Amino acid sequence: MQDNKLRNVAIIAHVDHGKTTLVDEMLKQGGIYRENQATVDRVMDSGDLERERGITILAKNTAVHYKDTKINIVDTPGHADFGGEVERILKMVNGVILLVDAAEGPMPQTRFVLSKALELGHRVIVVVNKIDRPDQRIHEVCDEVLELLMDLNATQEQFDSPTLFCSGRNGTASYSPDVPGTDLTPLFDTILDYIPAPEADTEAPFQMLVSSIDYNEFVGRIAIGRIERGAIHQNEEIAVCNFHSPDAPAKKAKATAIYQFDGLAKVPATEATAGNIIAMSGIGDITIGDTICAPSAIEPIEFVKISAPTMEMTFSVNDSPFAGREGKFVTSRQIRERLQRETLKDVSLRVTETDNTDSFNVAGRGEMSLSILIETMRREGYEFQVSPPRVLYQEIDGKKCEPIERLVVDVPADCVGGVIEAIGKRKGDMLDMTPVGDRMKVQFLVPSRGLFGYRNEFLTATKGEGIMASVFEEYAPMKGEIARRSTGSLVAFETGEAVTYGLFNAQERGALFIGAGTPVYAGMIVGECPKQEDISVNVCKKKQLTNMRASGSDEALRLTPPRQMSLEQDLEFLADDELLECTPENLRLRKRVLDHGERMRIASKKKS
Ligand SMILES: Nc1nc2c(ncn2[C@@H]2O[C@H](COP(=O)(O)OP(=O)(O)OP(=O)(O)O)[C@@H](O)[C@H]2O)c(=O)[nH]1
Ligand SMILES: [Mg+2]
């Protein structure tokens, strides 16, 4: 039996192809807002960091009504680091809308999310989006999507997926690439016609896989998923089990509250039946991948284990001379507790203890997911320091293997030579190269290691016009040495406050990251040296009064404005013997070993 008045779809795409903007319009045209109600753009990106960065980090549920059918929509993140999230979400829906940017065409994450949807046998509605872009290539992009489907071994049925042409921003959809649409009716109609209604065996015992978790300080953890079968009533007894721990006894609990999604709200319900996507509170330690069952029929639903993390960073208690001045939570107990809490929400994160009680290894899917965690913790008042990211190796058939990423770059044709050379140096193999207008799209397989720190160089090499995106592809045998960074650091020689005179002399040696008045300590990194060696600079050195030269020479001390570094840039910059100090107010780069003499001794020992 099917519940024909219901559809569950996920919107999937590469980063920035317009998922959240399209959901906005679906909500507007689905009558979610009262007339004249003020609305914000990308309303589903409700987190602080999501709004600031303009990206979706967590998948979110919403629902609209069209004709007499309820459409549950899940907006998913497009950034590769959150791919694990998308993989899980797909278990909750019965079909997907695949968005492809009409100018960029399919990108690495398009391939990843589409392959996961096809594996689950989902029906796909292809949406060529942003057709209003002046540089759109609608017809080529359609061909590229077909090629991708072929490449991914789509079935005939999936190959014949309906294609729509949309401008999410303008709120239009059309069946034809040449006739512009007027509203989203074609999209809504296609969802109703083409996406199957969920199975709804309401008589069977209750069963639901938890695909997502929300958290609210009043009710605690909230489990989100699609009811596989049966029905649930408020305050009913339930049992929780997990496919991956078949021998563990099922935990007893109670469904204290049940919610359905409607527009932007979670609406409390007294009961819910199979096929519906619901949220449920009342189960304290529920996690993603658990199955909630009727106590009379405890049967866990199979759940793909999220692929293992590929990179790791060490988080440790801040031990710089400035430790504890700016943070509210600084102890190892507080940091451990916070990191553990994060693993409950983000299943692709793994936290392990180290030999040292003050540091923890945090493994994740990529630099982005870890930098979001760092930023979130800083804002909550935590202070700590982190090591540079490193890849996680695996031993396969007795060989040391490393993670390899599929990288696509889209660059102006006159920059392509330089980019290919740079990626070659980083042990990347080129797969293919296609001209796209006066640009080139080149695909590589490159070690994750080789991509650390490359983004900045890439942007410089393409004068800011290049686009690059990569996703994890596979583990393969080690590709040999790759230099991490070709520059050195300018290191402060003594503790104090940076002054113009000292900075003026230091800027001769490289690019500075700090300005006059910044407190520094011996061993702190204050700039980048163009040569691959560290240089000590005395930025606190004042001009000696006895050493007066011609009058007016002080005005001649013009400082170049310091280079402002973002958290991501800092992480890219870090060399192996360096750390990043993160506090609610500052990010400070430092040498692991602060003492100049000791660093010299270690360096000379290494050489001999
Ligand atoms: N020209 C044009 N731009 C659009 C359209 N839809 C979205 N954009 C722009 O594309 C950018 C990304 O839009 P989002 O809706 O945040 O994309 P997303 O797919 O949700 O991004 P992630 O969640 O980070 O993967 C924004 O700057 C939008 O204004 C469109 O139809 N036409
Ligand atoms: Mg989004």
pLDDT tens digits, 238-273: 999 999 888 888 899 999 999 999 888 889 999 999
Q: Which of 519, 522, 509, 539 is nearest to 598 (CA)?
A: 522
Class of domain 488-545+554-607: mainly beta
Q: What average pLDDT does range 139-162 have in this prediction?
A: 93
* Ligand 1 close to Cβ of residue 20 (< 6 A): yes
What's the CA-to-centroid distance between 23 and ligand 2, angstroms? Answer: 9
From the CA of 26, how far away is ligand 2's center (Å)?
14
Q: How confident is the model at residue 150 (pLDDT cuts 50, 70, 90)?
A: very high
Q: Where in the chain is the domain with CATH 2.40.30.10?
A: 207-293
394-477 is a CATH 3.30.70.240 domain: yes
- For residue 76, give the ligand 1 atom closest to its CA: 23
**451 and 470 in contact (C-beta within 8 Å)?**
yes
Q: Which of 14, 21, 55 to mutate to test the pocket of ligand 1 (most atoms within 8 A of CB)?
A: 21
pLDDT tens per residue across span 350-391: 999 999 999 999 998 888 889 999 999 999 999 999 999 999
Terminal CA-to-CA distance of the chain, rounded, Å? Answer: 76
Q: Ligand 1 center to residue 344 CA distance, Å?
A: 30
Quick: pLDDT tens for 521-546.
999 999 999 998 999 999 998 887 65
Nearest Cα residue to atom 10 of ligand 1: 18
| SS3 call for 474 | strand
Q: Is 78 in the pocket of ligand 1 (CB under 6 A)?
A: yes
Nearest CA to ligand 1 atom 21: 16
CA angle centred on 460, ends 454 and 461, rounded to 5°:
85
What does the pLDDT read at residue 130?
96
Beta pairing partners, 101: 129
Q: Residue 511: in which H helix or E strand, if any?
A: strand 511-512
* 328 vs 43 pLDDT, higher one: 328
pLDDT at residue 452, rounded to an integer: 85
Average pLDDT over residues 562-580: 92
Strand 231-233 and strand 237-242: the pairing is unpaired
Q: Which CATH superfamily is domain 311-391 in?
A: Elongation Factor G (Translational Gtpase), domain 3 (3.30.70.870)
The alpha carbon of 29 and the centre of ligand 2 are apart by a number of angstroms equal to: 18
Which of 11, 14, 15, 16 most suits a substitution to test ligand 1, by most atoms within 8 Å of the C-beta? 16
The closest alpha carbon to 440, from 460, 462, 470, 472, belongs to 462
Element (H, E) at 502: helix 500-506
Q: How many angstroms does the Cα of residue 259 sit away from the middle of ligand 1?
A: 29
- CB–CB of 123/196 below 8 Å? yes
Ligand 1 site, residue 54, Cβ cutoff 6 A: yes
Report which ligand 1 atom has the smallest distance to the Cα of 21: 15
pLDDT at 555: 56
Q: What is the pLDDT of residues 279-310, one digit of tens each?
A: 999 887 888 889 999 999 999 998 877 677 88
What superfamily would CATH give domain 207-293? Translation factors (2.40.30.10)
Position 594 scores a pLDDT of 95
pTM value is 0.85
User: Distance between CA atoms of 569 and 388, rounded to whole angstroms?
Assistant: 11
Residue nearest to atom 11 of ligand 1 (CA): 16
Ligand 1 atom nearest to CA at 55: 24
Task: Indicate if ligand 1 lies below 6 Å from the C-beta of 189.
Answer: no
Q: What is the pLDDT of residues 1-18, one digit of tens each?
A: 777 899 999 999 999 999
Confidence band, pLDDT 50/70/90 cuts, at residue 550: very low
Residues of the chain with CATH 2.40.50.250: 488-545+554-607
Q: Distance, CA 53 to ligand 2 centroid (Å)?
A: 10
Query: Pairing between strand 95-101 and 237-242?
Result: unpaired
**DSSP class of 340:** H
Say if residue 153's pLDDT is above 50. yes
For ligand 1, what atom is nearest to the CA of residue 15?
25
- Among candidates 190, 174, 191, which has minimal Cα distance to 182? 174
Residue from 57, 82, 86 nearest 74 by CA:
86
Distance 190 CA to ligand 2 centre (A): 22
pLDDT of 445: 95
Ligand 1 in reach of 83 Cβ (< 6 A): no
Q: Determine which residue's CA is closest to atom 7 belonging to ligand 1.
A: 18
Q: Is 502 in the pocket of ligand 1 (CB under 6 A)?
A: no
- Statement: residue 457 has pLDDT above 50: yes
Q: From the CA of 80, how far away is ligand 2's center (Å)?
A: 12
For ligand 1, the distance from its centroid to the CA atom of residue 51, given in whole angstroms, is 13
For domain 6-194, the question of CATH label 3.40.50.300 is answered with: yes
Helix (H, G, I), strand (E, B) or coil at 40: coil
State whether the beta carbon of 60 lies less than 6 angstroms from ligand 1.
Answer: no
Find the ligand nearest to 19 CA.
1
Q: Is the CB of 336 under 6 A from ligand 1?
A: no
For the chain, where do the domains classified as CATH 3.30.70.870 start and end? 311-391
Q: What is the pLDDT of residue 552?
A: 45
Distance CA 451, CA 608 (A): 30
What mean pLDDT is predicted for residues 465-477? 89
Q: Is the CB of 184 under 6 A from ligand 1?
A: no
Asked whether residue 127 carries a pLDDT value surpassing 90, the answer given is: yes
Mean pLDDT of 470-490: 88
Q: Which residue's CA is the closest to the ligand 1 atom numbered 9?
A: 18
Closest atom of ligand 1 relative to the 23 alpha carbon: 15
Residue 50: per-residue pLDDT: 83
How far, in Å, is the centroid of ligand 2 from the Cα of 161?
A: 23
- Ligand 1 contact via 16 beta carbon (within 6 Å): yes
Q: How far is CA 212 from the centre of its chain?
A: 16
State the pairing for strand pair 60-66/69-75. Answer: antiparallel
For the chain, residues classed under CATH 3.30.70.240 are 394-477
pLDDT digits (tens, 9 = 90+) for 408-445: 999 999 999 999 999 999 999 999 998 887 889 999 99
pLDDT in tens, 17-30: 999 999 989 998 88
Q: Which of 172, 297, 154 has its CA nearest to residue 237?
A: 297
User: Does the beta carbon of 171 sit less than 6 angstroms from any atom of ligand 1?
Assistant: no
Verify whether ligand 1 is closer than 6 Å to residue 129 (CB atom): yes
Task: Give, for 86, the enclosing helix (H) or strand (E).
Answer: helix 83-89
CB atoms under 10 Å from CB of 184, counted, come to 24
Q: Which H or E run includes 374?
A: helix 367-379
Q: Which residues of the chain are in CATH 3.40.50.300 domains?
A: 6-194
